[in-house]
Amino acid sequence: MAILNNVIVKGISRFIGNIYGNLFGKVNNKTINGDVLTDVPSNAVFTDTIDTTHLRNITLKAGSSGIVPNTIIMRTSNDTYESIVTSDNMGNNTTNKIANTADFYLDSIIYYNGNNLIENNNTTNQDFYSLKDLDFRYSSNCSNNLVAGKPLFLIGSINNNKTFKLNNDIWWTQELPLDGDISYNGNIYIYLGIAYNNTNIKLMEQHPIYYYLNGKIYYNNSPSTLYYFINDVDTVSLEEYNNLTSENKTASFYFITDV
């Protein structure tokens, strides 16, 4: 798998963003629980038999939007947890759900909540799941339109406070954008797992983050630096960077295109 490195530097600091020539390095004919998956990310961690991972007796507080049954939840900037959809139009047979507008931490552990409804600002102690087969219709408007064997991502953007906000209209996708379309600039993609039929996914425990900048998709392994990758970067060639004065080099972050 070809990996190209583009370097963002400020003074002597270097943040490495890896761009995958073949984005995932696909594993052919990976069989999990009898399902043959074709678009398996090489950095997904699993064995041939996926087990449900329970995180038992976890105490957490629901945020202002609460925690909806059978949904994916994330930690908010208020150190509470909320579902990625609001409590309106609950169920797996509705297609008019609304994305939660909360500010989520990019490095949040992503849990699956079972059948419990946890009202806003209430504290609960119960089992949650970080590795789980789940019906994604509870967390989206996907209806019966998932494509089995393809990865699934949350879509959003990064806020000024360096948190993650879901897109309002379409907050999930099974496709990352192709090179060259700058209309996707600034989009953040968080890998959730893999669809195994047209409604259900296998939620994985690791959630790599990708971002779109200057017409290309990149992998980010340092959520704390992602804000600077998106917002405070000047694009230059290596020659242009080397010709900058030391004062200019420390005044901004630079995205070096030909490293």
pLDDT of 242 above 70: yes
The total number of structural domains that make up the chain? 1
Instruction: List the domain range (segments joined by +) for residue 69.
Output: 3-256
Question: If you average pLDDT over every residue of the chain, what do you get?
Answer: 75
Beta bridge partners of 32: 35
Q: Which of 9-18, 24-33, 99-108 has the highest mean pLDDT?
A: 99-108
Determine the pLDDT at residue 161: 84
The predicted pLDDT at position 249 comes to 58
Higher-pLDDT residue of 184, 21: 184
Distance CA 201, CA 148 (A): 8
Separation between Cα atoms, residue 64 and residue 43, nearest integer Å: 34
Work out the pLDDT band at 181, boundaries 50, 70, 90.
Answer: confident
Q: Would you call 105 exposed, middle or buried from its count of C-beta atoms within 10 A (0-12, 13-18, 19+)?
A: middle
